[in-house]
Amino acid sequence: MNKNKILLTIVSFIFVCLAFLTGCGHKHEFSTELTYDEHQHFYKCSCGDTKDADWHEEGSEYFQDNDNHWKKCTGCEYIMASQAHVYNQKVVHADYLVTPATQTTKAVYKKSCVCGKAGTDTFEQDKITPMIVFIDKIYDGQPYSVEEGLRNNSDGNLTYTWYKDGVALSEAPTVVGDYEMSVTLTETERYAAFTGTKTVKITPRKIEQIGTNKNYWQKVFDGSDYKVLEITEEQGRLSNESLYLIIKYWDVDHSSVKEYYLSSSNNPEIKVVNSNYKLANTPTFLSERMIQPLNLELPTVISKTYDGTDEFEIIYDSSHGIIEGKKLKVIVTIKDPDDLENKIINASIHEYSDEHRYVSAKKVYLIDATTHEELNNIMDDAYNLVDPYGETSVVVNRKLLTLSSNITVHRDNPVDQHYGYIDLSRWGYVDDSCTIKFKVNGYNGSGTIPDGTTIKNATFSNITYTNENYIIDKNAVYTVTYEW
C-alpha cells in the first residue's frame, strides 16, 4: 500500500513539471499571418498563446474612402486613427486645376483635404513666380555653365543673353568679373512667365602659401629692383596656365616691396596683371627689408707685388655674383692681432700666416668692369664680407725691377775690383732706400777694371740687396760703365 502511494506521488509530480515547462498540455503551432489588437500585433497559436508581439507604429501614408482618411500601422493592417475629410487645403497642382489662368482671369483650383482628396469647393490663385538663381563660381578656366549654375523651380523654357558692362557677349564668360544675364522663362500651367536680369560673378582663384611666407618675397642682391616667382599647381595655379608673382622693390638694395601682382608673363618690364587669381592671404611684412646683401668671403690666401703700402686689392666679378658689367674692389690692410683697431703693419716681403697677422676690410666699392672707374660705396646695402677678420694668409711678393740696358756701376772697393753696386734710389728706380750689390761678369781684361770702362753683354751674379722688397732679373744682359 505504501509503495503504491509513493509511485502515485512521483507520477503526479512529473505531470506537474511537464505542465509547468510547456505552459499547456500540447505542442504550439503559431499562425503565419499577423494578428493584432488595439495595442500590438503578433503571431497567435490556436491555444491562445502569442509570440513576437510588437507595439503599433503609425505610418506616414494616408488611406481614404469617400468620407474618411486614416493611417495604418507600419507593421500590420491595424488602422491607427480614422478622421472625416476636411477640405481646407489650398494646393496649386494640376490635379486640382478647374480652369487655368488667362490674361484677365486667375486660375481656379479645388480645395483639398490633408490626405490629398479633392473637394468641391474652389479657390482662385495667381500663377507662381519662378525662383531663378545663378550660383557664382570660382575661376576654373572654363566658360560659365548655365546647366551647372542655374537654380530654377519653373518648368518653363529658358532663354538668356550674357552682358558685360551693358555690352552683349557672344558666348558665356570665362574670366573673373561681374556679369549680367537677361533671362526669359515661358509661362507654364503652374508658373508665370519671367523676364528680367540676373547678376552672375566669377571670382578669383586663390593662391595659397605665398602671402604668409616671407621667404617668397626676399632675395639676395642681384642689381635688379624686381623678383619673379613662378606659381605652382600645388599653390593653386591651373595646370594648363602659366602664372608668376611679380615683386617690385623701391630700389635695387636694402629695400622694401613697392608693389606686387600676379601675371601670366614672367617679364617684369611689361605690367600684365592676371586678375583671375589672387593671394589667399595678404602679406603683412612688405615694409621690412626684403633684399639681403650678397655674402662674399675673403680668399684663404691673398698676395701682391710689393708696392710700399699695407693695402691689398681683391677683385670680385660676375663669377662671384657681382652684377654684369661691374666688379667689386675690396681693399684690405694687414693688422696686428693684438691691436686690430690701430696698429697697421708695414708691408714687406714676407708671408703672414693667420697665426701672426690678420686682414681687415678697409674699403669696398663698385667699379666699372671696363674702365675701372669707381662708382659708389655699397658695402652696407648690396654686399657683405663674411668674417673680414677671418683666417686669411697674406703674401707680399718682391717687386721685379727692370733696369736700363745701359747702366753705371759704382765700384765696390776694396773688396773686389770686379764687384759693383747700384743705388736704386739715386737713379730713380725706387723711392725708398735700396742698394744692389753684385759681381760683374763679362770683362775680358785682367786686374782692376779701370774707371770709365764700358763692358758690353755684362751679366750680374752673387746679387745681394739691402732692401729685400726688390729683385732684378739675374739673367738680364746689360751694357755696364764703371764709375768710382
- At 393-403, the pLDDT tens digits run 677 778 888 88
Contacts of 33 (CB under 8 A, 6+ apart): 43
User: Per-residue pLDDT for 461 more than 70?
Assistant: yes
- Model's pTM, two decimal places? 0.58
Residue 127: pLDDT over 80: no
Residue 300's pLDDT band (boundaries 50, 70, 90)? confident
Confidence at residue 347, expressed as pLDDT on a 0 to 100 scale: 37
Confidence of residue 71 (pLDDT cuts 50, 70, 90): very high
Helix (H, G, I), strand (E, B) or coil at 214: helix
The confidence score (pLDDT) of residue 165 equals 94
Beta strands in 146-193 (DSSP E): 150-152, 158-164, 167-168, 177-185
Rounded CA-CA distance 244/316 in Å is: 32
User: Buried (b) or exposed (e) across 138-173, using 16+ Cβ within 10 A?
Assistant: ebeeeebebeeebebebebeeebebeeeeeeeeebb
For residue 325, what pLDDT is reported?
80
Grid cell for residue 38: 488595439
Which cell is 288 given? 621690412
Q: Is the pLDDT of residue 255 over 80?
A: yes
How is residue 176 annotated by DSSP?
S
Alpha-carbon distance values, 396 to 204, 283, 305, 359, 363 (Å): 65, 53, 6, 13, 19
